[in-house]
Structures are given as C-alpha cells and as structure tokens.
Amino acid sequence: MLKIVPLSAENAAAAAELSAKCLKEAWSESTLVSQLDNPHDHTLIAYADDRAAGFLSCWCVAGEAEINNICVLHEYRRQGIARAMFGQIFSELADAERWVLEVRESNSAAIALYEGLGFARAGLRKNFYTDPDENAVIMVRE
C-alpha cells in the first residue's frame, strides 16, 4: 500500500538513504532536515510496503512551484509512485499558478513523466549540469 507523507524529523534519515540509492547528487539528512525550517518547502516522502520508496522536493514562492528533485527506488519504479507524489503536491498547492523544473536532456524517463503530467518544454540551459556536462531542459506547467 502506498502512503505519502510530508518530510519530518522522523523520516529525513530514510529519505536521505533512498536519495543516496537513486541520485548522483544525493540529499543528505542535514540538507533534508534544514528544509523543515523553510516555510516554502513542501517535500513529500512516499512509503510503499512501509518502506521509504520515493521523495519529491518542491518549493512554492509567490504562486510559482519549483520541483527541485524527485526520485523513486529502482525496485519500485513504474508503479505510479512518482505520479502519485505529483498528484498529492498538485492538490496541496492547488493555488500555484505555474510549475517549473529542470531536467537533464538525456533523462527520457523523467521527461516522459513530466510530459504526462502536463509539463511542456519551455527552454534550455546550455551545459547546466556537470559530470557529465549536459544541457538542462526547462519544463513548465501553467
């Protein structure tokens, strides 16, 4: 069963552990805990079978919501967890007028996810990423 909860002091360590398994630039527990003092932060943790399986980090400022990061453990992918986290954040921030994110040009899985959620390509940041150097696609959902 899938349960999606806000980031908390209790689940930050589990979120850091899962991000280390999924992301090249993992989010440390202290980075995650520091978000608890950020009034603009809306980080969600998804539990599948009582295991932290995904996280989505979002900041919302003045009607613009920015997705900072999203990841799902390998063994739980293609089960709708990322889509479910987006569903939750879209309803929590129903007043947001604009949604923005950046994604590596080669990340076809994430781009397919975002396009399916109504994001459209809005621009490119040349060589935005390093290791390896790569353009960022800017995607926006109005």
Ligand X SMILES: CC(C)(COP(=O)(O)OP(=O)(O)OC[C@H]1O[C@@H](n2cnc3c(N)ncnc32)[C@H](O)[C@@H]1OP(=O)(O)O)[C@@H](O)C(=O)NCCC(=O)NCCS
Select 41 or 102, whichever has its Cβ closest to ligand X. Answer: 102
Interface with ligand X includes 70 (CB under 6 A)?
Answer: yes
Residues belonging to the active site: 102, 114
| Helices 81-92 & 108-116 angle (0-180, nearest 10) | 50
Q: How many residues does the chain have?
A: 142
The answer to whether 71 contacts ligand X (rule: CB under 6 A) is yes
124 binds ligand X (CB under 6 A): no
Q: Is 81 in the site for ligand X (CB under 6 A)?
A: yes
d(CA 22, CA 77): 11
Kindly indicate which of the ranges 4-12, 30-38, 107-115, 118-126 contains the residues binding ligand X, using the contact rule CB under 6 A: 107-115
DSSP-derived 3-state class of residue 3? strand
Q: Determine the Cα–Cα distance for residues 15 and 90; give it in Å rounded to an integer.
A: 21
Among 2, 31, 41, 79, binds ligand X (CB under 6 A): 79
In the set 7, 45, 110, 137, which binds ligand X (CB under 6 A)?
Answer: 110
First to last CA, the chain: 31
As a whole number of angstroms, the distance between CA 120 and CA 142 comes to 9
> Where does this chain bind ligand X (CB under 6 A)?
22-23, 69-72, 77-83, 103, 107, 109-110, 112-113, 116
